[in-house]
Structure 1
Amino acid sequence: MTLGDALSASAPPWAAPLGAGGCEWIVAPPLPSGAVVPATLVRMWTEDGFMRVGERSPGTRLPRRCPELHVNGDSSFCLGRRGYRVEDAGELAVFWQDLGEWLVNEQRAERRGRWPAGRWLSHGPAAADRQADAEAGAAAIGMADEYARCIEVDDGWFAERLKEGGRRVRRGAACPRGCLDLTGSPVRFDACRHRASVERVLAAERARRQAEADYFAAARRAGYRCCGRMPGCPLIDRRMVA
């Protein structure tokens, strides 16, 4: 089965092939409101057995590259941390689903100036791995929402610790999980059985932030410039001039 045949077999109703071959498509997934995302012409290809997708003519509707909109340096779309194997029909179905969600998120991000809450993606493989570590650790101790606040809006307990330079929590401070002892009194953080787990999440987030800083430093050295579509872009001082 060719790539075009495999894509056609799993394509959703909001995607239609352009011409023969089945590797170029027009895609316009629906928004929750019932409207649709502006139609985008994309091409799909494989790299080391995994699916890749990007605009058919990069820079037409989307920027050629934009970290904040998750368009990679080669103009492919960053759909997330996972890969999609071409020979696996189930993964191709997930690929289409994730592409639709990415297009919806991109449209919302362009309107609102930030990637949608709950869909936040770190930049670069190293930062993405540290995000996965922190998310898993936070979920295991019931602090997933607290970590989401940290990574998405730079607020909450984890964010405050990092703003303080990540120094050790003061002796006698209450556990950030809200743990109580047998009498119903707050447990001190230095005595909490979850302390090491909380500190591992904090360390993973500190490493994630450093990895993102390294990513943008490398982007600057490579000559990346801000497309001007996202107000919080770390490359805003290198905005492209029309």
Structure 2
Amino acid sequence: MASPRPPIESIMRAAPDWAEVTFIHVNEINVDALAVRASGNLSRLYRLAVAFDGREVLARERVGAKLLPDFCPERHINAGGSFCLGLNAGTGIGDVTAPVWWVKLKSFLLCQDTASETGVWPDYAQMSHGDAGEIEAKAEQIAESIGRLGDLHRAVRSDEGPIAACLDKVRTTGQLRNGRSACLCGRKDGNGRSLLRRECHKLGCPIELEFARRQETRRFWEAARGQPCCRSMKNCPLADRAALFPDKRPSLNTVDL
């Protein structure tokens, strides 16, 4: 049986026509990326280094290319400059998954254009930072399975809706009060009976998960508080920079993927 292809080779072979590989060295390639929007307009030219570190494939701006900040959680750029393309986006890369990685990179770069122009990261491409992202992904799966995905999105994105309204009923331990009452998320068992809160807790209650996501989000920003703000984004928790964009009224629909 043939050995699996090295991740970087799979990435290189799957390179789309908007990305030119300009340098190849063992587990790293250089890429010049000029992503195309649905409208036909082009993104800025991004000069990237893409490398496999033994665990995952990572992309970042090459040294000397300064379109992007070195670190900005609001723009999903990690400390050290690597891009956050999504949960586990760079792991398990092979011939089948490499094209998906390029799709995520394209979306990321187009969102960077929007962030540079408006100081806002598009809401549809947002994901919680750090460990909160894992919790959000789990909550989305569960909420979708019980028909509450829209309510979860409202809670996450605008602190509104029935899930957000129930968060004050969660103890500091992370469990809803009154465990013997019907769960406020509305989950039912196979016979159509409402689950008790203590039963729903064991399965993963979307209300409790949203509470946990917010806790982890606060921890993330507390840990990042000492990092300098790149001053490119509105309403960044690292610093209040709204005054940098006094004449702009950014729309979350400005990117045309």
TM-score, normalised by the number of residues in structure 2: 0.74
Amino acid at match of 2:138: D
Q: Does 1:95 align with 2:101?
A: yes
Q: Does 1:224 align with 2:227?
A: yes
Matches within 5 A, 1:60-75: 60-75=66-81
Structure 2 contact 116–232 (Cα < 8 Å) conserved: yes
Q: CA deviation at 1:32?
A: 2.4
Cα distance between partner residues in 1 of 2:75 and 2:169: 29
Give the aligned partner of residue 110 of structure 1: 116
In structure 2, relative to structure 1, the CA distance for the partners of 1:203 and 1:84 (3 Å cut) is same
Q: CA deviation at 1:94?
A: 1.3
- Percent identity over the alignment is 29
In structure 2, relative to structure 1, the CA distance for the partners of 1:84 and 1:90 (3 Å cut) is farther
Cα distance between partner residues in 2 of 1:231 and 1:85: 31
Structure 1 contact 58–75 (Cα < 8 Å) conserved: no
Cα distance between partner residues in 2 of 1:212 and 1:87: 28
Decide which of 42, 45, 62 is 2:48's aligned counterpart: 42
In structure 2, relative to structure 1, the CA distance for the partners of 1:7 and 1:156 (3 Å cut) is same
Q: CA deviation at 1:155?
A: 2.0
Give the aligned partner of residue 30 of structure 1: 36
Structure 1 contact 79–99 (Cα < 8 Å) conserved: yes
Q: Secondary structure at the match of 2:166?
A: helix
Matches within 5 A, 1:69-148: 69-85=75-91, 88-124=94-130, 126-148=131-153
Deviates more, 1:98-107 or 1:68-77: 98-107
In structure 2, relative to structure 1, the CA distance for the partners of 1:169 and 1:113 (3 Å cut) is farther
Larger RCO (alpha carbons 8 Å, 6+ apart): 2
Q: Does 1:202 align with 2:207?
A: yes
Larger relative helix fraction: 1
Structure 1 contact 137–197 (Cα < 8 Å) conserved: no
Q: CA deviation at 1:57?
A: 2.0
Q: CA RMSD in A?
A: 3.3
In structure 2, relative to structure 1, the CA distance for the partners of 1:106 and 1:42 (3 Å cut) is same
Give the aligned partner of residue 16 of structure 1: 20
Gaps of 5+ in 1: 180-190
Q: Secondary structure at the match of 1:54?
A: strand
Matches within 5 A, 1:185-196: 192-193=194-195
TM-score, normalised by the number of residues in structure 1: 0.78
- Deviations along 1:8-39, one digit per CA (max 9) or x if unpaired, are 31100110122454711111111222211111
Amino acid at match of 1:113: G
Q: CA deviation at 1:238?
A: 9.5
Give the aligned partner of residue 182 of structure 1: none
In structure 2, relative to structure 1, the CA distance for the partners of 1:166 and 1:231 (3 Å cut) is farther
Cα distance between partner residues in 1 of 2:71 and 2:123: 22
